[in-house]
Chain A
Amino acid sequence: MAGGMDLGNGGKGGKKPLDAAINLVPFIDLMAVTISFLIMTAVWTQIGRLQVSQAGGPSTEETPPEETKTVQLTLAITPEQLVLTADQSTFDPIPLTRDANGKLELVKLTERLKQIKEQFPDQSAITLQTDDKVRYDVLVRIIDECLGNALPQVSVMATG
């Protein structure tokens, strides 16, 4: 087997050659068993979860301390547009548009969320007021955007 170093036979008599063959059969057996096990237990689709709560329901989150400065942030979602409201002030509606690949464009929403986060660094909650006609993938995309902008406490509620 390759791997050993041949020193020739010119030495004294009785010296054994250093070339030793490693028995690879048990190693290959072990590999075959490991591969079979890993293939059987393999998970090919990577699934995650987005944790949300229902607005109005009991919350498991810790209540923020009194001195933190936050606002009641609400995002109204309809199939056509998004309307962000911080306490009583309402921002301009953001039309829901899709790019050439059919992907939802949420650049404006991200910008606004970043602005709010800069003004209120302790803000962590947002309520999504969703219309009945809104598709699930749109809702998930917006929740994902909120989580990505450091607003982990996402509550979902229906309009009306």
Chain B
Amino acid sequence: MAIKVPGKRYGKRLEHSKVFGHGGHGKKSGFADLLITPLVDMFIIIVLFLIANFSATGEVLMMTKDIQLPEAVNVKEVEMHPVVMVSNEQVTISGTIVGRVEDLVKDEYLNIPALEEKLRDMKKQYEDLHAMAGNADGGFKGDVNIQANKEVEFKIIKRVMFSCATAGYNNINFAVLTKGGDGAAPASAGAAPH
């Protein structure tokens, strides 16, 4: 009897099996052709979809769970300006809490001193930066974005607006979610320039 190499040895019945057997026949080549055409098609569709959704301005506003924006149709494109966030609990600017809504409702003052101070600082910083750069065109225009929750009362918005105006930010922009509509393009084109 011939000496066999150690290892698993199957019986006669399985000797020529495709799975267990070691026979030469029944084995296919290790190379398989992948169908690339549908993959490329899918990639093209994804790229086109993402390019259609691409926004060069990036994310100006930070969306948070406690601020639900109202919807509007006749809107303009949002721009990079200081953002005052007003939720049901607090008023914040650049991540700094400048007032609690609970306290602001009780107060009878028209402004929010901390917000006003912060805005003044930001205005000064902006003006200093542009003065150093010698940029004559980049003058301070006083634009500010207000990102408020849709359930907030006007009493709070009024105080925020007043503080902005006092600090020199007179061009107030309310951030809204753009709702698809027929009138969106002409109205936004016809909206007031600044």
Do A134 and B173 have beta carbons less than 8 Å apart? Answer: no
Size of the B side of the interface (Cβ < 8 Å), in residues, is 62
Of all chain B residues, the one with the shortest Cβ separation from A3 is: B37
Q: Is A115 an interface residue (CB 8 A)?
A: no
Chain B residues in 8 Å Cβ range of A52: 172-174
Q: Is the interface of B mostly helix, strand, loop or mixed?
A: mixed
Do B53 and A53 have beta carbons less than 8 Å apart? Answer: no
Q: Is A24 an interface residue (CB 8 A)?
A: yes
Chain A residues in 8 Å Cβ range of B63: 45
Number of A-B contacts (CB under 8 A): 166
Q: How near does chain A come to B160, taking the closest CB pair, in angstroms?
A: 10
Binding site for B on A (CB under 8 A): 2, 24, 27-28, 31-32, 34-35, 38-39, 41-54, 57-58, 60-61, 124, 130-137, 139-141, 143-144, 147-148, 150, 152-153, 156, 158
Q: Is B78 an interface residue (CB 8 A)?
A: yes
Chain B residues in 8 Å Cβ range of A49: 75-79, 145, 173-176
Residue of B39, B151, B170 with highest tally of chain A CB at under 10 A: B170
How long is the Cα–Cα vector from A46 to B69 in the complex, in angstroms? Answer: 11
Q: Is the interface of A mostly helix, strand, loop or mixed?
A: mixed
Binding site for A on B (CB under 8 A): 36-37, 39-40, 43-44, 46-47, 50-51, 53-55, 57-61, 63, 69-79, 86, 141, 145, 148-155, 157-158, 161-162, 165, 170-178, 183, 187-188, 190-192, 194
Could you list some 9 contacts between A and B, CB below 8 A? A35-B46, A48-B72, A49-B79, A57-B170, A136-B153, A139-B157, A140-B176, A141-B70, A158-B158
